Structure 1
Amino acid sequence: MPPTPFADAFKTTVKLSTFRYSTLPLMWKAKKFFNTEFEKTLALMVDELHKFLGNIIAKKKERFVAGEDLEDKDMSARIVRRAQGEQLDETFLDNTTVSFVLAGQDTICLALTWFFWSVSSNQNVEKEIVREIKQKAGCLRDMVYTHASIYECMKLFPPISLYSKEAVEDDVWPDGTKVKKGTSIIYHIFTMGKSQEL
């Protein structure tokens, strides 16, 4: 197979970014500051991603300026179109494109796999979705049953089963639980989606 600099940089970036979670913040921040070890590699891989995606954005912008219709062609075309219309800067374009690539790879594959498995396992749901597609072809907003089926599947089989957030300030939850600033909150979406109580 031919070399794939973008795919290799993408995989390495995800791996090294995830590695930060298992390292003391002081350690990886020091390595980043001194540009050593895996933080040096991470910086190089991120530059590679930005270069690759920057070229794609530049070509889309050229087509947009030339008056070509970029409507509904692909996600990067939509991002460029929006940025031009709202006069958003290069940083917005770059970061948004990187976010879509990073967030979309595994999650979309997982969501679609579980959705098609769930639908194929339930003939009544499959028939209803097919009926709705035939009746309302071309108008996604009116496909209420299909939309609900996707949401139900994502509730039962979330693409990201475990997630965490960090409190940016002291807070009190509705049940009275006090959360201090800097506290990491980890929640298990997979389990929550299967809880009849929730």
Structure 2
Amino acid sequence: MASFTNLFTSYPELSSTIISCFFFLLFYYKTTKKSKLPTNWPIIGMLPSVGLNANRLHEWGNEVLKESGCTFKFKGPWLLNMDYVVTCDPANINHVFNVNFSNYPKGDEFVEIFDILGDGIFSADDESWKSQRKRAHYAMSSSNFQRFVTKCSEDKVENALLPLMCKIAKGGCVVDLQDVFLRLTFDLTCNLVFGVDPGALSEGFPTVPFARAMDDAMEALFFRHIVPSFWWKLMRWLNIGKERKLCDAWGVIDDFVAQNIVKKKEVIIYGCDMLTCYMEEEDPKATDNKFLRDTTVNLMLAGRDTTGVALTWFFWLLTKNPRVKSKILDELGELLDEKTYDTSKLVYLHAALCESLRLCPPVPFERKCAVKSEDLPSGKIKSKEKILFLTYAIARMERIWGEDCLEFKPERWISERGKLRYEPAYKFLSFNCGPRTCLGKHIALTQMKIVAISKFDVEVVEGHVVEPKRSIILHMKNGLMVRVKERREFM
């Protein structure tokens, strides 16, 4: 071994030649190989394919699953525990999320990667998860909270979003609609969770440290998914790179949450927000600072970016499909009322939102880990083997959604009688599936409908490139640059 090492150090020309040949072979392989399936190289496994497709991971994953028949085994480098069963097969999804739910907990590795979430509901398993879900369900399903959601959303749209969009329209400015919607949903989520409005959606688009900290945290969490665990752990130990940004973000997030908990306890001005709901419980644990911190951070992560991103993709799809936008306007016109709108009657709008969420799911992938070995519908999975569900790819499979799967077609969600058509969650994973189905589904759809019926229209700037960003949330990489137009009609 020593002589082999000496050969490389003594003859740098030889080592550089070998390295150059290696990368040439990779380039040749990339440009000549017809199959989309990655090659399993000795020692390094299929990791080079990830690097070569780093700028288009979602589309590449879709291509691999399409060629492999919806399920594929990814082999990582030796000894680095990066092997995955990658799938978008509804049968596998139903089995893991429903049929044998107990065999696929979040697991220790998930908790380690998402350590910033603490012991909150997203990372919790078993009794802890059941207890937290019961609490969250009780709080979110109350009639007071449901009314609070609608009122907050309507007030924010009427008093902040619409005046801002009108001013932008009159000025003829170009604005990043994704930034606008993320600021909107950040303010709304803070109000629903803490009972405070940080004013991110204000003229001049002020920087809100808490919002910036959440962005930095999500970048670091995604980075942890695509590199060997020892690498990000080393970076964390050295306090460098994305791990340093995560550490700084963690401090900002904790400070913001702590300040709001203290205010709520000292001033005792209770409302209908989630923090108040938890603090009014008789259980002493409900007023424990760590429990309240972990709970509110989890709720913020769930509600902020997912809804903002979903709105961004929805409005972009409408600019590409004027027929759909026209039908939504027709439906709104039929329900015109001088005082209020009953959004539950907007069947076509609801269908259009579902179709947008199908094509552009805010969370583009889910991960699980098997406790025991067993047979999945697509084949065997070993104990402690990880399984990755590519939510983004599900909508793009003809065998799942038909030959028109790539079309933005709200009609697929409407029955012949004009009612909403039910589609099983294992085909439509945007709100998760099974016992862990998203408790905030109704909240998200309510907020999206209220924004969707607002009196403004957008036009995407010519030449603007729209593509997904590498993130745990399906952000647009370049934002969505638009010009805003006022409308007398709704939408």
Amino acid at match of 1:94: R
Q: Which fold has the larger relative contact order, with Cα–Cα distance below 8 Å and residues 6 or more apart in sequence?
A: 2
In 2 relative to 1, CA 53–137 (structure 1 residues): closer, same or farther, beyond 3 Å? same
Contact 2:335/2:341 (8 A) holds in 1: no
Match of 1:115 among 284, 289, 314: 314
Instruction: Tell me the SS of whatever aligns to 2:294.
Output: helix
Shift of residue 177 of structure 1? 1.8
Q: How big is each residue's C-alpha offset from its partner over 1:7-60, in whole Å with a ceiling of 9 and x where there is no partner? A: 44333322222222233213333554x463344553332122111122123334
Contact 1:133/1:143 (8 A) holds in 2: no
Q: Does 1:19 align with 2:218?
A: no
Match of 1:186 among 388, 396, 414: 388
Bigger CA radius of gyration: 2
In 2 relative to 1, CA 61–80 (structure 1 residues): closer, same or farther, beyond 3 Å? farther
Q: Which residue of 1 aligns with 2:379?
A: 177
Instruction: Tell me the SS of whatever aligns to 2:361.
Output: coil
Contact 1:164/1:184 (8 A) holds in 2: no
Q: Does 1:100 align with 2:299?
A: yes
Q: Which structure 1 segments of 5+ residues have no match?
A: 72-77
In structure 2, C-alpha distance between the alignment counterparts of 1:133 and 1:167, rounded to whole Å: 50
Matches within 5 A, 1:64-143: 65-66=268-269, 68=270, 70-71=271-272, 78-86=273-281, 87=283, 88=286, 89-118=288-317, 121=322, 122=324, 123-129=326-332, 131-132=334-335, 134=337, 137=340, 142-143=344-345
Q: Which residue of 1 aligns with 2:259?
A: 55
Contact 2:210/2:256 (8 A) holds in 1: yes
Amino acid at match of 1:84: M
In structure 1, C-alpha distance between the alignment counterparts of 2:386 and 2:317, rounded to whole Å: 33
In 2 relative to 1, CA 181–108 (structure 1 residues): closer, same or farther, beyond 3 Å? same
Q: How big is each residue's C-alpha offset from its partner over 1:119-160, in whole Å with a ceiling of 9 and x where there is no partner? A: 5631113322454574994655x4461434322221122223
Identity %: 25
In structure 2, C-alpha distance between the alignment counterparts of 1:176 and 1:8, rounded to whole Å: 41
Amino acid at match of 2:251: D
In structure 1, C-alpha distance between the alignment counterparts of 2:227 and 2:392, rounded to whole Å: 26
In 2 relative to 1, CA 155–41 (structure 1 residues): closer, same or farther, beyond 3 Å? closer
Instruction: Tell me the SS of whatever aligns to 2:306.
Output: helix
In structure 1, C-alpha distance between the alignment counterparts of 2:316 and 2:293, rounded to whole Å: 35
Q: Which runs of 4+ in 1 moved over 6 A?
A: none
Q: Does 1:147 align with 2:350?
A: yes
Contact 1:53/1:97 (8 A) holds in 2: yes
In structure 1, C-alpha distance between the alignment counterparts of 2:264 and 2:332, rounded to whole Å: 35
Amino acid at match of 2:262: A
Contact 2:365/2:392 (8 A) holds in 1: no
Contact 1:166/1:182 (8 A) holds in 2: no
Shift of residue 83 of structure 1? 0.6
Instruction: Tell me the SS of whatever aligns to 1:182.
Output: coil
Match of 2:397 among 190, 195, 198: 195
In 2 relative to 1, CA 190–111 (structure 1 residues): closer, same or farther, beyond 3 Å? same
Instruction: Tell me the SS of whatever aligns to 2:399.
Output: coil
In structure 2, C-alpha distance between the alignment counterparts of 1:135 and 1:7, rounded to whole Å: 37
For the aligned residue pairs, the C-alpha RMSD in angstroms reads 3.3
How high is the TM-score relative to the length of structure 1? 0.71
Instruction: Report how many aligned residue pairs link the two structures.
Output: 185
Matches within 5 A, 1:22-33: 22-32=226-236
In 2 relative to 1, CA 7–116 (structure 1 residues): closer, same or farther, beyond 3 Å? closer
In structure 2, C-alpha distance between the alignment counterparts of 1:144 and 1:135, rounded to whole Å: 16
Match of 2:213 among 9, 20, 24: 9
Q: How big is each residue's C-alpha offset from its partner over 1:68-122, in whole Å with a ceiling of 9 and x where there is no partner? A: 4x22xxxxxx211221233423333212322233344432222112323445631
In structure 2, C-alpha distance between the alignment counterparts of 1:104 and 1:193, rounded to whole Å: 23
In 2 relative to 1, CA 45–129 (structure 1 residues): closer, same or farther, beyond 3 Å? same
In structure 1, C-alpha distance between the alignment counterparts of 2:341 and 2:255, rounded to whole Å: 36
Comparing 98-107 with 13-22, which one deviates more in the overlay?
98-107
In structure 2, C-alpha distance between the alignment counterparts of 1:115 and 1:107, rounded to whole Å: 12
